[in-house]
Amino acid sequence: MNEISLMPEEQYQRLQQRNAADVKELWDLLDAVKDPEVPVLTIWDLGILRDIVRDGDKVTVIITPTYSGCPAMDNISTDVTQVLNDAGYADVTVKMSLSPAWSSEWMSPEGRKKLREYGIAPPEDADLDEDGLTPDAHAQCPHCGSKNTRRVSEFGSTACKALFQCDDCSEPFDYFKKI
Amino acid sequence: MSDQIKNAIQEYATRLGDDSVVLGHRISEWVSYGPFLEEDIAYGNVSLDYIGRARMFYTYAAELADDGRDEDDFAFMRNDREYRNLLLMEMPKGDFAYSQVRQLFADVYYTILLPELLQSKDETLSAIAAKAIKETKYHLRRSRDWVLRLGDGTEESHKRAQKAVDQLWGYTHELFDMDETEQLLADEGIGVDVSKLRDAWLQMVSDILTEATLTVPEDSWAVRGGRTGYHTENLGHMLTEMQIVHRSHPGCKW
């Protein structure tokens, strides 16, 4: 395909923020924190990590939930604190920020690739329906690449995913919803 | 911010949190009883969305109360008379049709209410609304699909769906009631004037029910009281189950 893939504005802004940060080493350190439910993705990849502020010895990490009821947030907070503690930062506060609301657009390009390799179709692997929601068919199968697939359930193993099945290779797979 | 406004927002956030936790808990009662596995999981996810929403509202209420209580105290340490949820949310789970019809009524309500709350001058309420709107789109699509499927399904499913609509209808009027607290906040551009939302709700619900070959009931009876702490007997039983672990092991973490 002769398409130049464009990076969505939101992703570009996030990347700029990270590159310009005066605590770049802390952003790098937190690449060790993975989402417990999608363990191939870091909290950076997912867009959960919003900001890091250092004030003297005190480090404040701002994270945002993907979905209101995401049960992984407590785990992630603990992991963030642990990683920073281990690196010698004793005074760590993890804060939850709700606004702006998380968007799947924030997911990094590497994150999307890793998702697919892990067997989860990223949001762009399906054409949304007229309401901008998950379509009832044709999300691309991450296993065999076929688009001959159908939605089995609106909600998959977690709130952020829908469940599909491929009619070519017969494998079920999760589709990461666009919100 | 004046104390009067601050207290009103705390009360308002608590009410919205109560609606969410009670409905979220009711939905969670379907977990492991769903008609098939995928539906079971879907219900669990919708439940989590509501409980997550409740946590956000309670955390904000606790912050405003500033008396040492946290979100858990709001959810687990208040009795039924202290709960301010709409009665519709506390009705028992009933059969599958009953739960889905209730869900449709609630989902349409939030579809109309949340965009208004998004306009709130209160940043936290607006942020919670922004998050919840996205989730509600998916909730509504699912409950609408089920109501269409059940209403326009077999003779038995139609009968049960219609019975649910008739039994729940009288609890929907309360959704659009205002009192002094909510009027104050609506006047300040902080809360939503729900009394203005009924026409839109009725239109959307009627369209879906009609498409599902169900009859929209006459407005012949209405039950109210949730916002003042007067509940049906169902809430007490539900809270007993919901709160027992927390109250038996205060401060326990796992």
Contact B76, B143 (CB under 8 A): no
Does any CB of chain B come closer than 8 Å to the CB of residue A74? no
- Structure tokens of B61? 């209420």
- pLDDT (average), residues A157-173: 91
The DSSP code for A97 is -
Q: What share of chain A has pLDDT > 90, as a percent? A: 51
Q: Does B39 contact A at CB distance below 8 Å?
A: yes
CB–CB of B169/B161 below 8 Å?
no
Place of tokens 């109360």: B65
Closest CA to B26 of B79, B88, B97, B76: B88
Q: Confidence class of residue A2 from pLDDT cuts 50, 70 and 90?
A: low
DSSP state of A42: E
Half-sphere exposure of B186 (CA within 13 A, CB side): 15
In a domain, B252, yes or no: no
Q: What is the pLDDT of residue A23?
A: 87
d(CA B148, CA B214) in angstroms, rounded, equals: 9
Q: Could you give phi then psi for residue B42, rounded to 5 degrees?
A: -60, -45
A118 part of contact set with chain B, CB < 8 Å: no
Question: What percentage of chain A reaches a pLDDT higher than 70?
Answer: 97
Mean predicted confidence (pLDDT) in A78-95: 94
Q: Which residue, of A52, A82, A106, is where some domain finishes?
A: A106
The answer to whether residue A160 scores a pLDDT higher than 90 is no
Q: Is the pLDDT of residue A1 over 60?
A: no
Are A98 and B48 within 8 A, CB to CB? no
The predicted-structure confidence for B41-86, as pLDDT tens digits, reads as follows: 899 999 999 999 999 999 999 999 999 999 999 999 999 999 999 9
Residue B38 falls within a domain, yes or no?
Answer: yes
A98 and A24: one domain? yes
What confidence tens digit (pLDDT) does each residue in A47-60 have? 999 999 999 889 99
Q: How many CB pairs lie under 8 A apart between chains A and B?
A: 83
> How many structural domains does chain A have?
2
A14 lies in the same domain as A100: yes
A82 and A161 share a domain? no
pLDDT band at A37 (very low <50, low <70, confident <90, very high): confident
Flag whether A67 is in a domain: yes
CA B189 to chain centre: 22
C-alpha distance from B144 to closest chain A C-alpha (Å): 13
Comparing B104 with A177, the larger pLDDT belongs to: B104
Q: Are strands A34-35 and A38-42 parallel, antiparallel or unpaired?
A: antiparallel
Judge whether A3 lies within some domain.
no
Of the candidates B129, B38, B243, the one whose C-alpha atom is nearest the C-alpha of residue A162 is B38
Interface membership of B118 toward A (CB under 8 Å): no
Contacts with B22 (C-beta within 8 Å, 6 or more apart), sequence order: B83, B85, B89, B90, B235, B238
Residues 6+ apart with CB under 8 A from B142: A154, A155, B42, B46, B103
Contacts of B5 (CB under 8 A, 6+ apart): B184, B185, B188, B190
Mean pLDDT by runs of 10 across the 254 residues of chain B is 94 98 97 89 92 95 95 95 98 97 98 98 96 92 96 98 98 97 97 98 98 96 96 97 93 74
The residue that leads in pLDDT, A15 or B117, is B117
Q: What is the DSSP letter of B173?
A: G
Same domain, A93 and A127: no
Residue A4, domain member (yes or no): no
Tell me if A153 and B38 make a contact (CB, 8 A cut-off). Answer: yes
For residues A15 and A45, membership in a common domain is answered with yes
Question: How many structural domains comprise chain B?
Answer: 1
Residues of A in contact with B142 (CB under 8 A): 154-155
**B149 inside 8 A of chain A by CB:** no
Q: Which amino acid is located at A129 in the chain? A: D
- What is the distance in angstroms between the CA of the first residue and the CA of the last residue of chain B? 38
Interface test with B, best of A128, A154, A160 (most B CBs within 10 A): A154
Long-range contact pairs involving A4-13 (C-beta distance under 8 Å, separation at least 24): A5/A109, A7/A109, A8/A105, A10/A103, A10/A105, A10/A106, A11/A105, A11/A106, A11/A107, A11/A108, A11/A109
Report residue A19's pLDDT band, with 50, 70 and 90 as the boundaries: confident
Quote the domain boundaries for residue B121. Answer: 3-247
Do A117 and A110 form a contact (C-beta atoms < 8 A)?
A: no
Output the domain CATH number for residue A93: 3.30.300.130
Tell me how far apart the alpha carbons of residues A101 and B118 are, in angstroms, rounded to a whole number: 12
Amino acid letter for position B28:
S
Domain assignment present for A114: no
In a domain, residue A112? The reply is: no
**Is residue A113 assigned to a domain?**
no
**What's residue A179's pLDDT?**
83
What span, in angstroms and rounded, lies between the C-alpha atoms of B18 and B1?
Answer: 24
Is residue A94 included in any domain, yes or no? yes
| Predicted local distance difference test score (pLDDT) of residue A4 | 65
> What single string gives the DSSP state of each residue in B183-205?
HHHHHTTSS--GGGSHHHHHHHH
A104 touches chain B (CB under 8 A): no
Say yes or no to pLDDT of A8 above 80. Answer: no
Look at residue B61 in the predicted model and tell me its pLDDT. Answer: 97
A37 and A99 within one domain = yes
- Residue B239 has a pLDDT of 97
Residue A62 in contact with partner chain B when CB distance is under 8 A: no
Domain co-membership, A37 together with A96: yes
Rounded (10°) CA dihedral B180, B183, B187, B189: 120
Q: Is residue A2 part of a domain?
A: no
Classify residue B136: in a domain, yes or no: yes
Quote the tokens at residue B4. Answer: 């009067």
pTM confidence score: 0.88
| pLDDT surpassing 90 at residue A78 | yes
This model of the complex carries an ipTM of: 0.75
- Judge if A101 and A125 occupy the same domain: no
Which positions in chain B touch A65 (Cβ < 8 Å)? 52, 131
**Do A96 and A123 fall into the same domain?**
no
Q: At which of A80, A106, A132 does a domain end? A: A106
Question: What count of Cα atoms within 13 Å lies in the side-chain half-sphere of residue B253?
Answer: 1
User: CA–CA separation, A94 vs A102, rounded Å?
Assistant: 17
Nearest CB partner across the interface for A67, out of B42, B135, B141: B135
Cα separation, A161 vs A164, in Å, equals 10
Are residues A80 and A51 part of one domain?
Answer: yes
**Domain encompassing residue A29:** 9-106
Cβ of A68 and B124 within 8 Å?
Answer: no
Phi then psi for A162, rounded to 5 degrees?
-115, 155
